[in-house]
Amino acid sequence: MKLCIFLSLLLGQCVLSAQSAIFDQRITEGSNITIPCENEGRVSWSKLADGKREIILTAQDGEVSDRSKPDPDHRYGVLANLSLVIKETSVSDSGIYYCNATSVVKLTVTPLKVSSAISTDDARASATSITGGVNGVERVLFVSLTSVFFLTTVA
**69: which DSSP letter?**
S
Same domain, 85 and 64: yes
Supply the pTM of this predicted model.
0.61
End-to-end Cα spacing for the chain: 112
Same domain, 35 and 101: yes
Q: What is the pLDDT along the chain (155 residues), one digit of tens a residue?
A: 454 444 444 444 433 334 456 889 999 999 999 999 988 889 999 999 999 999 999 999 889 999 988 888 999 999 999 999 999 999 999 999 999 999 999 999 999 887 655 444 444 443 323 334 444 434 333 433 334 343 344 45
Same domain, 103 and 29: yes
Query: Domain of 33: which CATH number?
Result: 2.60.40.10
For residue 48, tell me if it sits in a domain.
yes
Q: Which residues contact 118 (CB under 8 A, 6 or more apart)?
A: 126
Same domain, 58 and 127: no
Q: Determine the structural domain holding residue 98 and report its residue range.
A: 20-110
Same domain, 43 and 74: yes
For residue 9, tell me if it sits in a domain.
no
Contact by Cβ (8 Å): 109, 93 = yes
Domain count, the chain: 2
For residue 141, tell me if it sits in a domain.
yes
For residue 3, tell me if it sits in a domain.
no
pLDDT at site 115: 64
For residue 130, tell me if it sits in a domain.
yes
Same domain, 126 and 64: no
Same domain, 100 and 124: no
Contact by Cβ (8 Å): 105, 35 = yes
Same domain, 88 and 58: yes
Same domain, 33 and 87: yes
